[in-house]
């Protein structure tokens, strides 16, 4: 169609048209709620006197653990760091550094779920000891301020991960002026979804003195114990992972326990053709598509995000997308059955190398966005939750664009870097259908989309419909 070439010359790339104004930037739908700024307190006590007949209370010693998590913990940690720098105990060479992505000790930048393969937890906690006289009078006898930083580093192609814990001891007073004696153990030491494969920090069974002004490093190589590696289709949530600190009795200090279990993950063996692996499911990944690699195929996505109301996958006014495994071919049939190749584009492509080893020529091909292999496809009649949604019955009902030739370098992605519309869109179309060089179309779908689906372990199965964002660069 000569019209495609004419529009390529006359219409500038990506006009604003009349698309609705974008909504405010979206947030990750899978993100966990931020921890409360209020502390959580647990206590244990030892009775030392016989209760009186008058009120039934006796004397005793009590120890309480009061804990703040997340942003509030980072704020308290930053304030404590200005007073003095703790001395770190020697660490094994294999012990990992604290991930910078977590933003530990940095109010405003701490992240529980910084990326798809990292889970972070920061907890500021206090030990407080007290005595209660037989008449019910309570007196605070000691306190100790500590900071826990924990993280899990997952692997997309293995069901093992690295678990790190740094305990920093700050100020002590009274009965806890010299610290507390304790033992730290991974929660994977206990029966459940995971087990410790290797210890790379202080031994689990080692009692240590948590001394003010010092920090202590624990590390474990842990592995999933729920069958994700062995059973195709198995999904094993790793909820409430972390460590437990067991405090031993001291003079005027009862034994205590503090559970720091705010790490999360998920292992699965559910991706066809891929090894089992683990991720942090609370991070919504961003799929990146580069114009330098995919040319007009990537630009068509950007065009749709900027000019159509759906703005699929865009953080600026759009919603995340969801991978669809089972009915993608049916969606493609709806989108492309009435597609007719553009003669002018085919003529332009005839000077490029064959598209495969059989010598078949480079040609115009039908491309679409949202992807056929997504619940947001224009042809899908239901959304990711199974609810009816607006849909098209023919790809001709989508906005129509065509790859515009802008160079003669011999590189398809450079020479066909942009798309232009074949007709003025309303801005409310449910999809875009494009005339895209075959090689660019296939490369983006296979090497771009499906590669990132596997790389981020994006699931499509009952109970697990992982969202993702899309960015074109």
Structure confidence at residue 436 (pLDDT): 99
Distance of alpha carbon 208 from alpha carbon 32, whole angstroms: 33
Phi then psi for residue 252, to 5 deg, are 65, 15
The tokens describing 81, both together, are: 């760091």
Do 351 and 343 contact (CB within 8 A), yes or no? Answer: no
Distance of alpha carbon 73 from alpha carbon 145, whole angstroms: 11
- Residue 196 pairs in a beta bridge with 222
* CB neighbour list of residue 85: distance below 8 Å, 6 or more residues apart: none
Structure confidence at residue 95 (pLDDT): 66
177-181 long-range CB contacts below 8 Å, 24 or more apart? 177/142, 177/212, 178/209, 178/211, 178/212, 179/144, 179/209, 179/210, 179/211, 179/212, 180/127, 180/144, 180/209, 180/210, 180/247, 180/250, 180/253, 181/207, 181/208, 181/209, 181/210, 181/247, 181/248, 181/250
Structure confidence at residue 245 (pLDDT): 94
Structure confidence at residue 72 (pLDDT): 86
Query: Residue written as tokens 């100020």?
Result: 171
Distance of alpha carbon 135 from alpha carbon 333, whole angstroms: 82
Count CB neighbours of 49 within 10 A. Answer: 12
Do 107 and 75 contact (CB within 8 A), yes or no? Answer: yes
- Residue 285 pairs in a beta bridge with none
Sign of CA dihedral 454, 457, 460, 465: negative
- This prediction has a pTM of 0.85
Structure confidence at residue 324 (pLDDT): 95
* CB neighbour list of residue 33: distance below 8 Å, 6 or more residues apart: none
* Half-sphere exposure at residue 98, Cβ-oriented, CA atoms within 13 angstroms: 20
Query: Residue written as tokens 């699965």?
Result: 268
- Chunked in runs of 10, what are the mean pLDDT values of the chain (473 residues)? 34 42 47 69 68 54 89 83 67 72 89 96 93 84 94 95 94 94 90 87 84 92 83 82 93 92 92 88 97 99 98 95 90 98 98 92 98 97 96 98 98 98 97 99 96 95 93 98
Phi then psi for residue 410, to 5 deg, are 90, -5
């Amino acid at each position: 169609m000569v019209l495609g070439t004419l529009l390529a010359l006359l219409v500038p790339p990506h006009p604003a048209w009349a698309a609705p104004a974008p909504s405010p930037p979206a947030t990750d739908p899978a993100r966990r709620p931020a921890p409360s700024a209020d502390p959580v307190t647990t206590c244990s006590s030892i009775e030392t006197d016989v209760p009186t007949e008058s009120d039934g209370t006796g004397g005793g010693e009590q120890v309480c653990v009061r804990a703040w998590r997340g942003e509030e913990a980072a704020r308290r940690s930053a304030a404590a760091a200005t007073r003095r720098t703790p001395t770190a105990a020697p660490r094994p060479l294999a012990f990992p550094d604290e991930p910078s992505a977590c933003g530990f000790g940095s109010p405003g930048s701490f992240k529980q779920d910084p990326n798809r393969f990292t889970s972070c937890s920061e907890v500021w906690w206090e030990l407080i000891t007290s005595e209660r006289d037989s008449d019910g009078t309570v007196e605070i006898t000691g306190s100790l301020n500590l900071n826990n930083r924990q993280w899990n580093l997952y692997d997309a192609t293995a069901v093992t991960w690295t678990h790190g814990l740094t305990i920093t001891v700050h100020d002590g007073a009274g009965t806890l002026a010299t610290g507390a004696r304790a033992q730290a153990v991974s929660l994977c030491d206990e029966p459940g979804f995971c087990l410790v494969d290797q210890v790379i920090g202080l031994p689990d069974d080692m009692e240590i003195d948590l001394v003010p002004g010092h920090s202590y490093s624990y590390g474990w190589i842990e592995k999933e114990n729920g069958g994700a590696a062995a059973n195709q289709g198995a999904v094993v949530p790793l909820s409430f992972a972390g460590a437990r600190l067991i405090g031993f009795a001291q003079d005027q200090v009862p034994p205590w326990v503090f559970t720091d279990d705010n790490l999360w993950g998920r292992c699965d063996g559910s991706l066809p053709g891929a090894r089992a692996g683990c991720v942090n499911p609370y991070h919504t990944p961003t799929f990146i598509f580069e114009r330098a690699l995919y040319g007009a195929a990537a630009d068509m996505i950007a065009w749709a995000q900027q000019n159509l109301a759906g703005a699929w996958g865009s953080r600026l006014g759009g919603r995340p997308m969801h991978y669809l495994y089972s009915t993608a071919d049916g969606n493609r049939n709806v989108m492309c059955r009435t597609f007719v190749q553009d003669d002018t584009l085919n003529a332009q492509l005839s000077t490029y190398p064959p598209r495969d080893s059989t010598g078949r020529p480079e040609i115009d091909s039908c491309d679409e966005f949202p992807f056929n292999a997504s619940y947001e496809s224009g042809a899908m009649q239901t959304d990711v939750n199974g609810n009816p949604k607006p849909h098209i019955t023919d790809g001709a009902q989508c906005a129509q664009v065509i790859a515009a030739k802008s160079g003669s370098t011999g590189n398809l992605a450079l020479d066909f870097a942009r798309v232009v519309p074949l007709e003025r869109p309303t801005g409310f179309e449910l999809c875009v259908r494009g005339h895209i060089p075959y090689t660019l179309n296939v490369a983006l779908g296979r090497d771009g989309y499906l590669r990132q689906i596997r790389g981020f372990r994006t699931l499509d199965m009952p109970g697990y419909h992982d969202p993702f964002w899309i960015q074109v660069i």
